[in-house]
Amino acid sequence: MQESIIISFQNVMKRYDEDEEPVLKGVSFDIERGKFYTLLGPSGCGKTTILRLIAGFAEPTEGTITMEGKVMNRIPANERQVNTVFQDYALFPHLNVFENVAFGLRVKKLKKPVIEQKVQEALRFVNLAGYGNRSVSEMSGGQRQRVAIARAIVNEPQVLLLDEPLSALDLKLRTEMQYILREMQQRLGITFIFVTHDQEEALAMSDWIFVMNKGRIEQSGTPNDIYDEPINRYVADFIGESNIVPGVMIEDYLAEFNGRRFECVDAGLRPNEPIEIVIRPEDLEIVPLDQGKLRVRVDSQLFRGVHYEISCYDESGQEWLVHSTRKAEVGGEIGLYFDPEAIHVMRFGETEEEFDRRLEAYGEVEAHGK
């Protein structure tokens, strides 16, 4: 076992109800110490179930969960070095801020001065020094969430699980809390496993993202990997907006779509293989008609503050979404230019394992100079 791995799932299956489909269908991953992980996916894909299995609130039906190399499948929650922060804060409304944070320490029967010192330290950490005597009912949503975080970190867990902790906050506060959480994780150096269905939040905060779909991990990687190299349409669609166009591989570095050939950099696909091409809206540049790789007619345009969101159609009826700081004329024709590097090619319906194998095999071919 690698020293740095703190949690490992091996082929974990979870079924709540015997006659229903499993909620997790064979999930495997490793969690390293001190990093910020995010489980990202739509409602019902099994994110919270993974947290419950880590916390010990549920047991796997099949497979193995290990923590620091020790099998944890049947170990109760109170024997795990894990704490959870929930979406609804789950604070005690009749206790003040100090007592909410002190709760776990009192259960552990620590001495009074130790509790006092640890609680004050945790409150300072979340920027709530001096708020100990406040009633939690007087606090704002963001402050309550910080109390909930202080209550979790005061126990000095090795792993902090955060189940959609920001979803009850308004947009501005949410963004502020994203910075605070990220910074807090880096200062504490403990492992965070964060659950969200918001892809922007996941991209902004994480070292590593697991994109989930119906009880499976569809793709895992750094935010850059997942944004720039989605392995299939599901991930590309879920992570930001994309233009996804069917096509066919002609040869290395050359793909065909909409009846035309375009240079691309993705490799390891064979000639004639059916592919899907992903071009992000911000990678399409508006240029004069004669300089464009595509010729499109502008259908609609929305001003989004930092850019215009422009919807266009080419002569084949394919829609192209463009994010541009330049304004276009609705109804007019424009050229669209993109770099070969901006085209990402996916094999139709490929799984993550197949994708990894393909790239590995391609790397070997390159290394042997063939």
Ligand X SMILES: Nc1ncnc2c1ncn2[C@@H]1O[C@H](COP(=O)(O)OP(=O)(O)OP(=O)(O)O)[C@@H](O)[C@H]1O
Q: Does 47 bind ligand X (CB under 6 A)?
A: yes
State the pairing for strand pair 82-85/159-163.
parallel
Give yes or no for residue 41 binding ligand X (CB under 6 A). yes
Instruction: List the end-to-end C-alpha distance of the chain, in Å, as a whole number.
Output: 36
- Under the binding rule (CB under 6 A), the answer on residue 44 touching ligand X is yes
Q: Is 46 in the site for ligand X (CB under 6 A)?
A: yes
Q: Between 41 and 292, whose beta carbon lies closer to ligand X?
A: 41
198 or 285: CB nearest ligand X? 198
Angstrom distance (rounded) from CA 294 to CA 315: 9
The single residue listed with the structure tokens 């541009």 is: 324
Q: Which is nearer to ligand X, 46 or 281 (CB)?
A: 46
Asked if 325 is part of the footprint of ligand X (rule: CB under 6 A), the reply reads no
**Coil, strand or helix at 171:** helix
CB crowding 28-64: b at 16 or more within 10 Å, else e: ebbbebebbbbbbbeeebbbbbbbbbbbbebebeebe
Asked whether 335 and 286 are in contact (CB, 8 A), the reply is: yes
| C-alpha neighbours within 13 Å on the C-beta side of residue 64 | 9
Sheet with 274-279: strands ordered across: 260-263, 254-257, 243-251, 274-279, 344-347
For residue 64, the minimal CB distance to ligand X (Å) is 19
CB of residue 47 to ligand X, shortest distance in Å = 4
By CB under 6 A, what part of segment 167-206 binds ligand X? Answer: 197
Give 62 or 68: the residue with its C-beta nearer to ligand X.
62
* Binding of residue 49 to ligand X (CB under 6 A): yes
In angstroms, what is the minimal distance from the CB of 114 to ligand X? 36
Give whichever of 37 and 131 is closer to ligand X, judged by the CB atom: 37
Tell me the window of 47-55, 92-100, 136-144, 185-193 that interacts with ligand X (CB under 6 A). 47-55
Nearest approach in angstroms of CB 44 to ligand X is 4
Q: Which of the 8 DSSP states describes residue 290?
A: G
Cβ closest to ligand X, residue 196 vs residue 324 = 196
Instruction: Rule CB under 6 A: say whether 23 interacts with ligand X.
Output: yes
Tell me the window of 44-52, 119-127, 139-147, 319-327 that interacts with ligand X (CB under 6 A): 44-52
Please, which residue, 14 or 347, has the CB nearer to ligand X? 14
Asked if 43 touches ligand X (CB under 6 A), the answer is yes
Please pick, from the candidates 8, 48, 143, 191, the single residue that binds ligand X as defined by CB under 6 A: 48
Q: Which residues contact 4 (CB under 8 A, 6 or more apart)?
A: 32, 33
For residue 46 the two structure tokens come to 């099994």
Give the integer Cα–Cα distance in Å for 167 and 279: 30
Q: Name the residues that contact ligand X, by CB under 6 A.
A: 16-17, 23, 41, 43-49, 197
